[in-house]
Amino acid sequence: MKSFGLARIGRDVEVRTTAQGEPVASLSLAFSYGRKGEDGRRPTQWVDAALWGKRAEALAPYLLKGGLIAVTLEDVHIETYHGKNGEGVKLVGRVMDIELAGGKQDGGERPTAVQRPAPRPASSGFDDMSDDIPF
């Protein structure tokens, strides 16, 4: 089963390498859903996700806490774990597709790609017309 949605990143991404040498990035994703409660907030569902391969290494500098991403997850399922407070369950999935959708909520600095000037559009023959449109 695949799931798609917008999520906030809960902590900076951690990249590890498997014994076979394949990079894997661990993401903690917060998906908001439903109606706002009395406190003005929507409920949140946390998902632990993994991004594999070269994309994990390439995107890691941009996947920072608070960042907004559009993500498609595959193989979303419930896992049981044993923590210091006893046994618990969590949702986990594998990232199939990911797009950066926005900056951090607190307006913090994010790495930026090299900016290149946009190509000039070809002349349409209407370049001398006014931009003021009456409707």
Coil, strand or helix: which one is 55? helix
CA pair distance 92, 25, nearest whole angstrom: 13
Give 28-56 as a DSSP string.
EEEEE-S---TTS---EEEEEEEEESHHH
- Tens-binned pLDDT, residue by residue, of the chain (135 aa): 788 899 999 999 999 999 999 999 999 999 998 899 899 999 999 999 999 999 999 999 999 999 999 999 999 989 998 888 889 888 999 999 999 987 665 544 444 444 444 444 555 454 554 555 444
Residue 127, Ramachandran bin (φ over 0: left; ψ between -120 and 50: alpha; else beta)? alpha
What architecture is the 2-102 domain classified under in CATH?
A: Beta Barrel (2.40)
Flag whether the pTM goes above 0.85: no
CB 72, CB 97: distance < 8 Å: yes
